[in-house]
Amino acid sequence: MENIKRNEEGYLNDFSQWTKEVGNEIAKEQEIEMSDLHWQVIDYLQGKYKGEEALSIRGIKKSGVINIKEFYDLFPGGPLKKSTMIAGIPKPKSCI
Amino acid sequence: MAKSTVKKMLFILSKATIENVYAAFIMANGARMEGIEAEIFFTFFGLEAIQKKKLEHLHVATVGNPAMHIPTMLGGLPGMEAFATKMMKKEMEKLDMPPVGEFLEILSDSGVKLWACKLAIDMFHLEKEDLIDEIDDILTIGDFYSRANSDNTHLLFI
């Protein structure tokens, strides 16, 4: 974890440094215990990032991976902010 | 990471023009995304946004709205409001902003409490059945104030 470069908010500077272990460590900091469904969401988010598609809560609703209620339950207190940090991708800039 | 000191945002939506409705919705959703509690109290014309039959027919105001930059006389012509609204909705769709009905579902699923104002409901002769299912309850303003009775809570009138 020492070699992983992160910005002041805790997001990875470089996605190529991400591994599942790194994701797990960040999740621990956020007091989130990762389940299969958590990882499916992370996988979805990373797929969107690689496809250069913007993330939004509406996108989560349409994702087919998870519904919005579950999303809030899995990543309590700012779900998109926390999940993107665990996924090693930048914090979304969208207002929705 | 610094913890947010704002704990709860309470919005009072009293208008039914699209820009006001979306302002309330986007701020309420934004609050939830930051881990802040959010509630919306729909009163007076704000009730249009939660009536099953009306919520997809909200308009932008073309008269008495200097920011539209069209002469007031033109803004009052038949079809102008509908046209301006259509243009605005098109731009919103480009930004992936959901339509009113879908946005309300998202807000409800995100844990935003949605309240209807009792006095306004009575005044407009509405029934609970006229409102969307996501409405949590019909409240008096006193009930709503009691929901504001905690630290780091902000009230915003729109």
- pTM of the full structure: 0.89
Q: A57, B29: Cβ pair inside 8 Å?
A: yes
Q: B26, A59: Cβ pair inside 8 Å?
A: no
What is B18-157's CATH number, 3.40.50.300, 3.40.50.720, 3.40.1260.10, 3.20.20.105? 3.40.1260.10
pLDDT of A54: 85
What are the boundaries of each domain within chain B?
A: 18-157
pLDDT of A35: 95
Q: Which of the 8 DSSP states describes residue A94?
A: -
Cα(B11)–Cα(B27) distance, integer angstroms: 9
Please spell the DSSP secondary structure of B117-155, one letter per residue. EHHHHHHTT--GGGB-TT--EEE-HHHHHHHT-STTEEE
**pLDDT band for position B3 (cuts 50, 70, 90):** low
Contacts of B32 in chain A (CB under 8 A): 72
pLDDT at B19 over 70: yes
Q: A56, B96: Cβ pair inside 8 Å?
A: yes
**pLDDT band for position B4 (cuts 50, 70, 90):** low
Mind listing the pLDDT tens digit for each residue in A24-81? Answer: 999 999 999 999 999 999 999 999 999 988 888 888 988 889 999 999 999 998 999 9
